[in-house]
């Protein structure tokens, strides 16, 4: 690892190892924080690290903060500048994962949102593949239902809500699967513990709508656009039943951490003979090319980090 893990805390930039907060921090006790995961992807040929759709992540962070009645005094431009500076200073020449957060920073006890001071922090670490996608992943329908919007705002990426994801992920992994798929209270397919889900049938792509309690993923939007623009394949947003996953031609997941991940079995039902299907394979390739700057048409999604040595030819 050549590079330094860096953090932005209380308005200052420092090595991640020095970034400390009090054990009385409100967010630690009550899950009162909202966050994002942003990737910067390394292209060895370009000798460049590209931040992917940073602005969209900060737009979602702002909405999440709004849902928890938080102040986010920094503008989107300032948030982007802080992030670029942090990644640049870290000096990594490999894939990194950036974790921005708005958290209730006040050192006080009391379960509430109002009248509790908040702050912005950000840090980054090198991070490669989240799921081992060689040969596709094995998923299982969770016994845990995806959090309903009546309980916790599902469109906001709230730290406390991730106990739902953690329960499902642990249940799946300790039972020998790679990932969990959660249904909503209606029994319809919602999403993975940290990914959105898609199926392909007769050349059409389907994915659950936001009203089925999903977090509306930025990778999800990216894949919908790539499928439409590059493959001429529309994505239909509609409620999906569990057994549609079993019987689909192809099933895949998307997420910042997971990229485009082919699913080779659902509840032990093998999908497409265990092989990655043709549309999933094309989307995986298109997505990977786009995030490392090998697709000019999508350069507007990228923010190059290193100004020295960068060539765009």
Choose the binding region for ligand PMP from 80-88, 126-134, 237-245, 252-260 (rule: CB under 6 A).
252-260
Contact stretch for ligand PMP (CB under 6 A) within 212-220, 240-248, 275-283, 304-312: 212-220
Structure token digits, residue 21? 């907060």
Which region, judged by CB under 6 A, interacts with ligand PMP, from 88-96, 253-261, 281-289, 298-306?
253-261
Which member of 20, 93, 104, 157 is catalytic? 157
Choose, by CB under 6 A, the member of 199, 218, 226, 291 that binds ligand PMP. 218
- Alpha-carbon gap, residue 53 to 36, rounded angstroms: 12
* Binding-residue total with ligand PMP (CB under 6 A): 14
**Whole-angstrom Cα distance, residue 239 to residue 185?**
13
The nearer residue to ligand PMP, 116 or 168, going by C-beta atoms, is 168
Closest CA to 199 of 189, 210, 212: 189
Neighbouring residues of 150: CB distance < 8 A, sequence distance ≥ 6: none
Residue-wise DSSP of 40-102: EEEETTTTEEEEESHHHHHHHHHHHHHHTT----S-HHHHHHHHHHHHHHHT--S-EEEEEEE
Judged by CB under 6 A, the residue of 13, 21, 28, 37 near ligand PMP is 37
Three-state DSSP at 217 gives coil
State whether residue 1 is helix, strand or coil.
coil
219 binds ligand PMP (CB under 6 A): yes
46 counts as binding ligand PMP under rule CB under 6 A: no
Instruction: Report whether 76 contacts 70 (CB < 8 A).
Output: no
Active site residue 20: no
d(CA 192, CA 71): 30
160 lies in the binding site for ligand PMP (CB under 6 A)? no
Q: Which is nearer to ligand PMP, 191 or 212 (CB)?
A: 191
CB of 60 to ligand PMP, least distance (A): 7
Stretch that binds ligand PMP, among 40-48, 81-89, 168-176, 218-226 (CB under 6 A): 218-226
Q: Which residues bind ligand PMP (CB under 6 A)?
A: 37, 165, 191, 194-196, 215, 217-220, 254-256
Active site residues: 157
């Amino acid at each position: 690892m050549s590079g330094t893990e860096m953090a932005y805390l209380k308005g200052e930039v420092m090595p991640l190892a020095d970034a400390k907060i009090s054990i009385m921090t409100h967010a630690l006790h009550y899950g009162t924080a909202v966050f994002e995961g942003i990737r910067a992807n390394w292209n060895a040929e370009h000798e460049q690290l590209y931040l992917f759709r940073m602005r969209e992540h900060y737009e979602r962070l702002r909405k999440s903060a709004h849902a928890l009645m938080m102040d986010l005094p920094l503008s989107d431009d300032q948030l982007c500048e802080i992030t670029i500076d942090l990644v640049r200073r870290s000096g990594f020449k490999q894939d990194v994962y950036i974790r921005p957060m708005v958290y209730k920073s006040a050192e006080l006890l009391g379960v509430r949102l109002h009248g509790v001071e908040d702050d912005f922090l950000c840090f980054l670490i090198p991070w490669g593949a989240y799921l081992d996608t060689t040969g596709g992943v094995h998923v299982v329908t969770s016994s845990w239902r995806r959090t309903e919007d009546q309980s916790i705002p599902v469109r906001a990426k709230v730290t406390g809500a991730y106990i739902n994801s953690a329960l499902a992920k642990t249940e799946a992994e300790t039972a020998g699967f790679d990932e969990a798929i959660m249904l909503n209270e209606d029994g319809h397919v919602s999403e993975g513990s940290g990914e959105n889900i898609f199926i392909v049938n007769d050349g059409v792509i389907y994915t659950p709508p936001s009203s089925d309690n999903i977090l509306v993923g930025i990778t999800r939007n990216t894949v919908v656009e790539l499928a439409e623009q590059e493959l001429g394949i529309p994505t239909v947003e509609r409620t999906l039943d569990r057994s549609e996953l079993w019987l689909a031609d192809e099933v895949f997941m998307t997420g910042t951490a997971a990229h485009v991940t082919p699913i080779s079995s659902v509840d032990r039902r093998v999908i497409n003979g265990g092989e990655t299907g043709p549309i999933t394979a094309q989307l995986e390739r298109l997505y990977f090319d786009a995030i490392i700057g090998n697709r000019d048409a999508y350069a507007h999604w990228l923010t190059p980090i290193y100004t020295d040595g960068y060539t765009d030819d």
